[in-house]
Structure 1
Amino acid sequence: MIRVVVADDEALVRAGIKMVLQPASDIEVVAEAANGREAVAAATAHRPDVVLMDVRMPAMDGLAALRELKRRTSPSKVVMLTTFDIDDYVHSALVEGAAGFLLKDTPPRQLTDAVRRVAAGDAMLSPEVTQRLVEAYIRRTPRTALAARHRLAVLTDRERAVAFEVAEGKSNAQIGRALGMTETTVKAHVSRTLTKLGLENRVQIALLVRDTDL
């Protein structure tokens, strides 16, 4: 039996979700919650397999409740529910460890299927949310590359050449041979590059160069 806690500040929404799940013989709603604090308390007391958690709730919102459950190493898997398909919500929920993110207008059959899949260990995103994530990634990639290229613009041509060699994982000696420099000169270029870019190590140089997508 899959044990579920439903957390939403609207009683009608909770009742609707219960009505959708009730016909499933393998799913049982063991508790309800009207805010994040009640959701944490219910999950702690009942140890459900899945918590269906509204994002926007009074007292403690769904994301804060998710973080609290993760701090308590709760075995419950959390699926966030919202009417707002906003990228920041999706990103924050997934970073905080949510097992799924569904819109409240998800068809009943898909909601029941999502509970089963999440309980079985799968992640679950509604098609609309998946599309938003893809679009957000596509939008973000050019901006990330542009920002990285702008940061590298403060370097001289030789410093930039060294940075690109660093991104290839080469040692100072290898970079020196590739660019016709002494190791001491390469080391000086790396040191100035770190200072100019406000970075701490060669790995960060490599990551920044990779972000340029050049």
Structure 2
Amino acid sequence: MSTAPRDPHSRPVAVPAGGGPTRRKWLLPLLLGLLALIALLVLLSQCGGDDKDDDRPAATPTTTATATATVTSPANTSPAAPSAAATGTGQAGGAGTVTAAGTNLLDAASAATLSAQDTQQAVGRAVKVQSVPADEGFWVGTSEQDRLWVQLSGTRGESDYKVKQGDTVDFTGTVTKAASDFATKVGVTAAEGADQLVQQGYYVSVPASSVKLSS
């Protein structure tokens, strides 16, 4: 078999295995570039996450207010006592009233007060009987000093209702001037208040039928 003649000026070219040095030259920079790109992306993602966290508004602490009811005890929860006008009693101890022309005669059972109400109608309401010295008369008021004499009329000798000491009675009568011997005639002794009756000079004349026990 014949062989072609070799050119004496040509040089043999060596071909390196594995693709040659040219391929290795650009492969390494490419890998390094990829690694750098990945590192940069990771770094950017971390920075972006931190920025988002910084941009978030700070959590506002929640305050829970607990309402506490304050109960104030009133100084006095008892109902107010009714006035004297509401109860019809103008004297201490519930002694009642004996009024004539708007004046409570028991407030000052003096000759001057009683004379100013001469012949005026007198109305007794819830008035206390202090004592009963006579069959037809008795004292009403708050005490032995502040009291009025009530003389019953129309009894036919005796009253229809037997008034007793300590009773609380209602009646309607007339302020009447007493004669100088009135105390003696009705049977009131000095121990029973004859002098006081004379000094006052007046009494309340009351029909026996109008005297009632207060309810």
- In our comparison, the structure showing a higher alpha carbon Rg is 2
Whichever structure has more strand as a proportion of its residues is 2
Q: Answer whether TM exceeds 0.5 for this pair.
A: no
Whichever structure has more helix as a proportion of its residues is 1
Q: TM-score, normalised by structure 2?
A: 0.21
Q: TM-score, normalised by structure 1?
A: 0.21
